[in-house]
Structure formats: structure tokens, C-alpha cells
Amino acid sequence: MAAAALLLVAALVALGSGHGGEAFDPNPLQDFCVADATSKVRVNGLSCKDPAAVVSDDFFFAGADKLRDEVSERYGFSALTVQIPGLNTQGQRYARVDLAPGAIFPPHYHPRAAETALVLEGSVYFGFVSSYPDNKLFSKVLHKGDVFAVPQGLMHFLYNNGTAPATLYASLSSQNPGLVLLADALFAGALPDDLLAKTLLTDKHTVDNIRANFRPS
Ligand SMILES: *[C@@H]1O[C@H](CO)[C@@H](O)[C@H](O)[C@H]1NC(C)=O
């Protein structure tokens, strides 16, 4: 009994420490490791440019005031990654996200990052859902100047159900947050129709109808 309790404590301590899992990006071992885009060496992150060659521009990005012109045809959002070579190995990523009126950023999650988003313009309905079995929805209608936070790995979405364009600045707590779009994960890949039908408690015909919209055209 005592031994079992001790084991449980040890397991909880191990879980809480954040080591041994993939919960957080590793800590940097130097002031900076500016990404060397030309290097073919693969490390955990991109390999570092010679520190003597690092300049202020390596920590700079211009153009976050303009939305990316490439818009998701399906969903009407656009996302501009703020590319800063000096952020390599720093465990962060930033993006400007724009949503036209009526547009969504559909339900998705980032396996390796928590997220906060600041509304720069417009308003947006933003929410996340806690894990099974609660599946509890936490959501807010955000306006200019509001910030909302999404815990790591939880499914979240954005919906511009207003009449003006919305712009957000999103901060993610990993250099490589990962993106799992739930609908794509289910319907764009090669999962067998009968498995999907059973999963969704429906029939193969319904699954085929949905899947037709997800096939690359
Ligand atoms: C957007 O949707 C949310 C949640 O349903 C709702 O509370 C809000 O009033 C809606 N906003 C508009 C402008 O309809």
C-alpha cells in the first residue's frame, strides 16, 4: 500500500516536471541561435548562424500591418506567420490572423502549444473545448483590445459572426506548435469510410458526401 502510494507520487512528480514528455520546447543553451536557412544540418530546431554574423534584422519582421493575400477558400481566413530567424530555439511563434465577415478558423488544436490571441480590429467569437468527458465550451465574443487564452492541446475555433473584418495577433508557446484541423484529420486523409461512419454514428453515404468536399480538387 505504502509502496503503491509512493509510486503514484513519483509518477505525478514526473508528470508535473515537464521532462520526459514533449510539453515544452527545450531551453536554449546560448543567447540566441539565429536560424541558418542555408544549412542542411538538422538539429532540434534549425541550426545556428555564426553569432559574429548576426545582425539586428535577424530579430525583426516588417509587414504585420498587412494581411496575407492568400485566403483559405473553404473558410475565408488568412494567416501570416511572423518569420523572425532570431526566434529559432526560443519556443515561440507568432501569426497575424484575419477573418472576413462570416469566415471561420475551423476547430483545430496545436499539440505542442498554448495560445493567446489579441484582437487588433473587429470582433470575433473565440472558444475552446475541454477534453473528454466534460467537453465543456469556454468562449467569449472578443472586441478590439481583448485577449483570449487557449490551453495547450485543446480544440479551439474562431468565428467572425460580425459584419466587419477581424484581425488578431496570435502568440504560440512553441517554435513548432503543430496544427491538427479536426475535419481534415477525419475526412481529408485515408481513414476507411466504414470506420468513419461508425465513429460518427452515421452511414457511409453521409460520410461520402462530406468527404467529397475534402478531396483535393
Ligand atoms: C456571435 O456568436 C456568439 C455565440 O453564439 C453570440 O453570443 C454573439 O452575439 C454573436 N455575434 C453576433 C454579432 O451575432
Q: Does ligand 1 have an atom closer than 6 angstroms to the CB of 141?
A: yes
Amino acid 42: pLDDT: 79
CA of 140 to the centre of ligand 1 (A): 9
**Cα of 170 from ligand 1 centre, angstroms:** 21
The fraction of the chain above a pLDDT of 70, given in percent, is 88
DSSP the chain: -HHHHHHHHHHHHHHHH--SSSSSPPPPSSS---B-TT---EESEEPBPPGGG--GGGG----TTS--S---TTT-EEEEE---GGGTTSS-EEEEEEE-TT-EEEEEE-TT--EEEEEEESEEEEEEEPPTTT--EEEEEEETT-EEEE-TT-EEEEE--SSS-EEEEEEESSSS---EEHHHHHHTS---HHHHHHHTTS-HHHHHHHHHTTS--
Model pLDDT, residue 104 = 98
Residue from 17, 64, 184, 186 nearest 195 by CA: 186
Spatial CA neighbour of 67 closest among 99, 101, 93: 99
* pLDDT given at position 22: 52
Ligand-binding site membership of 205 (annotated)? no
Structural domains present in the chain: 2-178 (2.60.120.10), 180-217 (no CATH)
Q: Is the CB of 127 under 6 A from ligand 1?
A: no
Q: Whose CA is nearest to atom 9 of ligand 1?
A: 141
Kindly state if the Cβ of 125 falls inside 6 Å of ligand 1. yes
- Helix (H) or strand (E) segment spanning residue 183: helix 182-187
| Between 214 and 147, the higher pLDDT residue | 147
For residue 215, the model assigns a pLDDT of 77
pLDDT higher than threshold 50 for residue 17: no
Q: What's at 130, amino acid-wise? A: S
pLDDT at 4 over 70: no
Residue with cell 534584422: 57
Residue 111 CA, ligand 1 centroid: distance in Å:
28
pLDDT at 212 over 70: yes
**Ligand 1 pocket test: which of 126, 142, 161, 163 has the largest number of ligand atoms within 8 Å of its C-beta?**
161
Q: State the chain's mean pLDDT as an integer.
A: 89
C-alpha 9: how far from its chain's center? Answer: 32
Q: Find out whether 158 and 97 touch, Cβ atoms under 8 Å.
A: yes
Positive or negative: CA dihedral 181, 186, 190, 191: positive
Q: Dig out the grid coordinates for 77 from the structure.
A: 481566413
pLDDT computed for residue 12 by the predictor: 42
Residue 8 has pLDDT above 80, yes or no: no
Average pLDDT on 153-168 reads 97
pLDDT at 24: 80
pTM of the model: 0.85
Rounded average pLDDT over 7-15: 44
pLDDT at 128 over 60: yes
Compute the average pLDDT of residues 33-50: 88
Q: Is 110 annotated as contributing to ligand binding? A: yes
pLDDT band of residue 45 (cuts 50, 70, 90) is: confident
pLDDT in tens, 83-112: 999 999 999 999 999 999 999 999 999 999
115 belongs to an annotated ligand binding site: yes
Residue 194 phi/psi, 5° resolution? -70, -35
Q: What is the pLDDT of residue 10?
A: 46
Candidate from 61-65, 69-73, 105-109, 204-208 with smallest mean pLDDT:
69-73
